[in-house]
Amino acid sequence: MKARVHVMLKTGVLDPQGEAVRHALGALGFDGVEAVRQGKVIELDLAETDRAKAETAVKAMCEKLLANTVIERYEVELV
């Protein structure tokens, strides 16, 4: 089973990388972009076949390592 984890900064947390991308897009002539938030996607190949157990395990991975839950939020998608 595959799991995909989307990690993004929480609302209100400054995103300097997103701001740099927004500025660069403006410099390239894409003036309509008002804000950019940059995140990351982590794909995991899991041996687990039970969806509930897989989701529980991936959420534990996020809480312990994959996301900094103080400033980031995450979503788990099983595919």
> 47-54 long-range CB contacts below 8 Å, 24 or more apart?
48/1, 49/1, 51/1, 51/78, 54/1, 54/3, 54/78
% of the chain with per-residue pLDDT over 90: 100
% of the chain with per-residue pLDDT over 70: 100
- What pLDDT, in 10s, does the model give residues 31-59? 999 999 999 999 999 999 999 999 999 99
> Which domains are delineated in the chain?
2-78 (3.30.1280.10)
pLDDT computed for residue 5 by the predictor: 98
Count Cβ atoms below 10 Å from residue 23 Cβ, excluding itself.
12
pLDDT computed for residue 62 by the predictor: 98
Stated pTM of the model:
0.88
